[in-house]
Each structure stands twice: as structure tokens, then as C-alpha cells.
């Protein structure tokens, strides 16, 4: 016995304008979707509560002069547990910030301003579906380009369906050409646009990312990383699990970066809900509490990444996976691969610290003489403290070399200061100072979770500011 054909996507279209409903109906029929129409708010509520319910709902704001408007219908459907999960798109002729805020307050998942094109509408609806269908159908491209009238396309679609029922396989383009309803040039152009969009979706699609973290600085740091990546696209951010679930339900992201320690509800507690709402999303648990790793993976996280990990490791965990089986939960240690952007930031920090040292040396040298070289310890401590022990050692070597150069420029002999760098003991002291500053930074973060949190926030702020 063959398996039953999958149920087509059903969309509720509620608008008091018969012509607009017809345009949307024909557009969605071109996509192979079913359409349920409603001309009043009452009819829209009844259709949304049918069994089975629609997969999507498109509501106009105004339903004439009587009865509730589309926003009231939206709010009522979102308040009802039986219909709360239906994604709702609001249509309005008043595309302004105030109207968008009203739509969001009512619980709308998307907002489309009139007039809109068939392609714009189809793409907007596709983004709300958990398993996004293929690129828009040929008829949508023809409608969007104005190459065919809606009524003509509807007749062609009906003829195509009849041919399928007779066991024939007529393509929509062939039906339109046989009817003389579309030119060969317009048809070829629409087919090329469709092929191009499919290629973009398969090869150049960006992973859509949702950030859920109660710290603004951390969210801003992650946003700066995402903004610089061609393969990532931010679709939303939330400060708690409740708002995060609402946005996840609305946007159906490919990737969710989820904090654990949040007010009201922790990320681990919310993980099963996120998995249920976004079954296709990859979830990265992003927390300072490394003791929560096993619990996070057991609750459904795909990867656990510590907030004090280097930025390039955090970014690596967010890279999209275009092919292969769904990632299995794993306890991984991401490799420390040098990242050009990370190295550039480190170089900028070192340069600023060393240039500041040169300025201080030249300022106090007329008074202290060659002993102004003792200030070389300052950039070493700064570099080691901010960038770690390895960078601290590099900063120490550069600081020693720079001090030698400054002594030569100002006419001082090596061995003149109190710290005898020329005899080697002072140079070793500076090297140890740089390494110790970096080591203390790491040890301090491991022993003091609160300091680790502050440091993670500082790392994010530095990334956001471009330092």
C-alpha cells in the first residue's frame, strides 16, 4: 500500500476586498497551496478554529465599518491555546512604525504593507513555515512581473490540474503558451529568475540566527560577529526565554544562540520548548557555567560553548551546515584556529599600548632619564591582562625592544637604569610579568564565575566597538 500524499499547505486569507483575496488566492494556488477565504472577522475566527487548522493566516487590518478589525482577530487567535501557534501575517495600507507596533502587540508574526507583489508575499509566507518549501513557483514570477493576468493564470492552473487528473503531465508554461496567454520571452525570463533564486537558496543561503541572552552587551557583541559574516543573518534577539520562544515561533530560525542564566526561566529549562517550536533549528547553549554542559546537551542543545571562549571559536559554533544529517548533541572542544579578525584586534590592542608607552617615555625622560624605561611594564601588564599569557609574552618582547630603541634615540646607555635590562635580569623580569598578567587573568576567571561573566561582557563590548 503506497503512502498517502502529504497534506498541502493551507492558508487562511481574510480580507473584505474580493479582488485582493482573488490575487492572493491565485498567487498561493500557483505555489500548490490550498486557500480558505473569509470576508469578515467572524468568518476568519471560525476558519482558524476549523479542524485541521490552517498552516498560516493572512489578515487584513480592516474588515469594513462593523465588527472587530484584523488586529483584534489576531490577538484573539494568539490568546487561544488552540490557535496560538498559527503564524499570522497582517496586511495593511498604513505601513508605518505605529501600525507595526500595534501588529506586534497583537501577536502578529509578520507585517506586509499594501501594495505588495506576489513574489514578496510568497517569500514572506515561506519564511514562516517550519519546513520551508522550494522557491516560489513559475506562476508567482509571471504574476509579479505582470506577464500574465491573475484570471488568466487561474484558468491555466485549473487546466493543468485537470490534465494531471487525466494522467497527463502538462507544465504550466506549456499551458500558457498553448493558450497564447504569455510570450516566450516573458516565460523564459520568469524561468531564469526562478532558477536563479533556487541557486541562491541552495548555495548562498544565510543561516538565520536568533539570540536569546539577558545581557545587552553580550547580544551586541554577538550581533557584531554575525554582521561581519556573509553566511549568517540575524532575525531577532530576546532578553528572556519567553520572548525568545515567541520570536522562534515567528521566524523559525536556523540557529538559536541560547543563554542559560536568565530571569524567570533558564535556557536549559526552555530547551525542550525551543526544540518543539523549531525542530529544524541548531541550538547553541552559550553560557559561562561550564558545569551546565552535560545538562544542556541532555536537554537538547546541539553544542555547548563557553562565553569566555575566544570570539573565533564562538563564531565557529554558529557556522551554518548546508548538508548532511542533522547534527547530533555532542560535547566538543572547538579547535583554537587562528582567526584573522581576532589577530587584527590583538594587534590593535598591542599597538595602542606600546604607542602610549612611547608617549609616556618621551614625556618623563627629561626628568627621569633612562629610568623612564620602567614604564615599559605598563603596556606589558595591559597586553597580558587583556589578551592572555601568550600575547603577554609577545608584548614583553616588543616592550624590551622598544625600550632599547628609545634609549638609543635619547642618548642613554644600556645598563643605566635601576632595572638592568642590558644584563638580562630585567628582560627576564619583564617577560615573566607579561606571562603572569595573562595567567592571572585566566586563573581569576576560572575561580570567580562573576568575574568571568564581567570579562565575557567586556569581550563582547570590545568586539562590538571594533577594538
- 260-312 per-position pLDDT tens digit: 989 889 999 999 888 877 777 889 999 888 888 889 888 888 888 888 777 66
- 115-150 per-position pLDDT tens digit: 788 888 887 788 777 655 566 788 888 888 888 888
| 370: CB partners within 8 A, 6+ apart | 407, 410, 412, 413, 416, 417
CB atoms within 10 A of CB 430: 24
Q: If 0-12 CB within 10 Å is exposed, 13-18 middle and 19+ buried, where does residue 443 land?
A: exposed
- What the block records as the C-alpha cell of 34 is 490550498
CB atoms within 10 A of CB 21: 19
Q: Say how many CA atoms lie within 13 Å of 139 toward its Cβ.
A: 27
* pLDDT tens-digit profile, the chain (467 residues): 444 456 688 999 998 888 888 989 988 888 888 999 999 889 999 999 998 889 899 998 887 666 688 899 999 999 998 998 898 988 887 767 778 788 888 888 888 888 788 888 887 788 777 655 566 788 888 888 888 888 888 888 888 888 877 877 788 888 888 888 888 888 888 877 777 666 656 555 677 889 999 988 888 888 888 887 777 888 889 999 988 988 887 777 888 999 998 988 999 999 988 887 777 788 999 988 888 888 988 888 888 888 877 766 777 777 655 433 333 443 333 333 344 445 666 788 888 888 988 888 888 888 777 777 777 777 877 877 676 667 777 877 888 888 888 888 888 776 555 444 444 445 555 555 555 555 555 545 444 444 444 454 444 444 443 33
Per-residue confidence (pLDDT) for residue 160, from 0 to 100: 84
pTM, whole model, 2 decimals?
0.47
- What the block records as the C-alpha cell of 357 is 608607552
What is the three-state SS of the chain?
A: CCCCCCCCCEEEEECCCHHHHHHHHHHHHHCCCEEEEECCHHHHHHHHCCCCCCCEEEEECCCCCCCCCHHHHHHHHHHCCCCCCCCEEEEECCCCHHHHHHHHHCCCCEEEECCCCHHHHHHHHHCCCCCCCCCCCHHHHHHHHCCCCHHHHHHHHHHHHHHHHCCCCCCHHHHHHHHCCCCHHHHHHHHHHHHHHHHHHHHCCCEEEEEECCCHHHHHHHHHHHHCCCCEEEEEEECCHHHHHHHHHHHCCCEEEECCCCCCCCHHHHHHHHHHHCCCCEEEEEECCHHHHHHHHHHCCCEEEECCCCHHHHHHHCCCCCCCCCCCCCCCCCCCCCCHHHHHHHHHHHHHHHHHHHHHHHHHHHHHHHHHHHHHHHHHHHHHHHHCHHHHHHHHHHHHHHHHHHHHHHCCCCCCCCCCHHHCHHHHHHHHHHHHHHHHHHHHHHHCHHHHHHHHHHHHHHHHHCC
Looking at the domain covering 207-317, what would its CATH class be? alpha beta
The full length of the chain comes to 467
- What the block records as the C-alpha cell of 410 is 635619547
Partner residues linked to 57 by β-bridges: 12, 88
Q: Give the pairing type, strands 207-212 and 232-238.
A: parallel
Comma-separated ranges of CATH 3.40.50.2300 domains in the chain: 10-203, 207-317
| 448: CB partners within 8 A, 6+ apart | none
Per-residue confidence (pLDDT) for residue 339, from 0 to 100: 41
| 192: CB partners within 8 A, 6+ apart | none
C-alpha 160/C-alpha 176 separation (Å) is: 10
Mean pLDDT of the chain: 76
Maximum distance among all Cα pairs of the chain, rounded to whole angstroms: 101
Looking at the domain that runs over 10-203, which CATH code has it been given? Answer: 3.40.50.2300
C-alpha 244/C-alpha 267 separation (Å) is: 10
CB atoms within 10 A of CB 350: 20
249 prior amide bond cis, ω within 30? no
Residue for cell digits 480580507? 15
> Are 430 and 401 contacting, i.e. CB atoms less than 8 angstroms apart?
no
Amino acid at each position: 500500500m503506497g503512502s498517502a500524499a502529504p497534506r498541502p499547505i493551507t492558508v487562511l486569507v481574510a480580507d473584505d476586498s474580493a479582488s485582493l483575496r482573488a490575487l492572493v488566492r491565485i498567487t498561493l494556488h500557483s505555489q500548490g497551496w490550498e486557500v480558505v477565504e473569509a470576508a469578515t472577522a467572524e468568518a476568519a475566527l471560525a476558519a482558524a478554529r476549523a479542524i485541521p487548522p490552517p498552516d498560516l493566516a493572512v489578515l487584513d487590518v480592516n474588515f469594513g465599518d462593523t465588527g472587530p478589525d484584523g488586529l483584534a482577530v489576531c490577538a484573539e487567535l494568539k490568546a487561544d491555546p488552540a490557535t496560538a501557534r498559527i503564524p499570522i501575517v497582517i496586511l495593511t495600507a498604513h505601513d508605518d512604525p505605529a501600525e507595526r507596533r500595534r501588529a506586534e502587540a497583537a501577536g502578529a508574526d509578520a507585517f506586509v504593507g499594501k501594495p505588495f507583489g506576489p513574489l514578496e508575499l510568497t517569500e514572506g509566507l515561506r519564511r514562516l513555515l517550519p519546513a520551508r518549501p522550494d522557491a516560489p513557483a513559475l506562476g508567482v514570477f509571471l504574476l509579479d512581473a505582470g506577464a500574465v493576468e491573475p484570471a488568466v493564470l487561474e484558468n491555466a492552473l485549473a487546466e493543468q490540474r485537470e490534465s494531471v487528473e487525466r494522467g497527463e503531465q502538462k507544465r504550466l508554461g506549456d499551458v500558457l503558451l498553448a493558450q497564447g496567454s504569455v510570450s516566450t520571452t516573458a516565460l523564459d525570463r520568469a524561468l531564469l529568475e526562478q532558477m536563479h533564486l533556487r541557486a541562491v537558496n541552495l548555495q548562498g543561503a544565510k543561516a538565520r540566527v536568533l539570540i536569546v541572552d539577558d545581557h545587552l552587551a553580550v547580544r551586541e557583541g554577538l550581533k557584531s560577529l554575525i554582521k561581519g559574516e556573509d553566511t549568517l543573518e540575524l532575525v531577532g534577539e530576546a532578553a528572556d526565554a519567553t520572548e525568545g520562544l515567541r520570536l522562534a515561533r515567528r521566524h523559525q530560525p536556523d540557529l538559536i544562540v541560547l543563554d542559560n542564566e536568565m530571569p524567570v526561566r533558564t535556557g536549559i529549562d526552555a530547551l525542550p520548548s525551543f526544540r518543539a517550536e523549531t525542530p529544524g533549528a541548531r541550538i547553541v547553549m552559550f553560557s559561562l557555567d561550564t558545569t551546565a554542559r552535560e545538562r544542556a546537551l541532555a536537554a537538547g542543545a546541539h553544542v555547548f560553548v563557553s562565553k569566555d571562549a575566544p570570539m573565533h571559536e564562538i563564531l565557529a559554533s554558529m557556522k551554518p551546515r548546508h548538508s548532511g544529517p542533522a547534527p547530533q548533541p555532542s560535547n566538543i572542544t572547538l579547535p583554537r584556529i587562528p582567526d584573522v579578525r581576532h589577530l587584527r584586534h590583538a594587534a590593535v590592542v598591542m599597538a595602542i599600548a606600546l604607542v602610549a608607552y612611547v608617549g609616556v617615555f618621551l614625556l618623563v625622560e627629561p626628568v627621569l632619564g633612562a629610568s623612564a624605561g620602567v614604564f615599559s611594564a605598563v603596556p606589558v601588564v595591559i597586553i597580558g591582562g587583556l589578551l592572555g599569557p601568550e600575547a603577554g609574552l609577545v608584548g614583553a618582547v616588543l616592550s624590551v625592544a622598544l625600550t632599547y630603541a628609545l634609549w638609543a634615540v635619547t642618548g642613554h646607555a644600556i645598563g643605566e637604569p635601576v632595572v638592568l635590562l642590558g644584563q638580562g635580569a630585567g628582560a627576564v623580569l619583564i617577560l615573566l610579568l607579561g606571562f603572569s598578567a595573562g595567567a592571572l587573568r585566566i586563573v581569576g576567571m576560572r575561580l570567580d564565575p562573576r568575574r568571568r561573566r564581567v570579562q565575557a561582557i567586556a569581550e563582547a563590548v570590545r568586539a562590538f566597538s571594533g577594538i
